Amino acid sequence: MKLRSTLAALMIGMSATSPLLAHTPTTGPNGGLQVDAGDWHAELVANGTPTVTVHLADADGKAISATGFKANAIFVVDGKPQRFQLEPAGGSALVGTAAVPVSAGVKGAVQLTAPDGKSGQAKF
């Protein structure tokens, strides 16, 4: 009986975490790192300047309009958190400016809120 309950707990745990393992980060069409962000894909383009761009796509990888989206970025640069907003900038792009240059491969997250109130998080 104990073995059954242990197996059941393990299966529940695996099913709860499997969406997190569903997609491996890839290189997006704009050359940045693309990850899942809830209902969307988010592609981070950072190139060593303070300007950061996040491109949005649907679950099939088709670019979607960033109009009406709100986004907040939190990245760790040189061991210090950098927090800033990203605003729609035409097409699928959300653009923001950090206080310091942000390099490709930066670690952090972008919290997204769609015009309809749905939210998602892209972890880089």
Q: Could you read off the pLDDT of 109-124 as tens digits, one per residue?
A: 999 999 999 999 999 9
Task: With beta carbons less than 8 A apart as the criterion, state whether 116 and 69 touch.
Answer: no
Q: Is 16 left (phi over 0), alpha (psi -120 to 50) or beta?
A: alpha
Task: With beta carbons less than 8 A apart as the criterion, state whether 22 and 100 touch.
Answer: no
Instruction: List the one residue out of 25, 30, 108, 113 whose CA is nearest residue 69.
Output: 113
| pLDDT value at residue 23 | 60
The Cα–Cα gap between 47 and 66 comes to: 21
Q: Please tell us whether the domain made up of 24-123 is placed in CATH 2.60.40.
A: yes
Q: Could you read off the pLDDT of 12-68 as tens digits, one per residue?
A: 443 444 344 446 889 999 999 999 999 999 999 999 999 999 999 999 999 999 999
- For the chain, the structural domain boundaries read 24-123
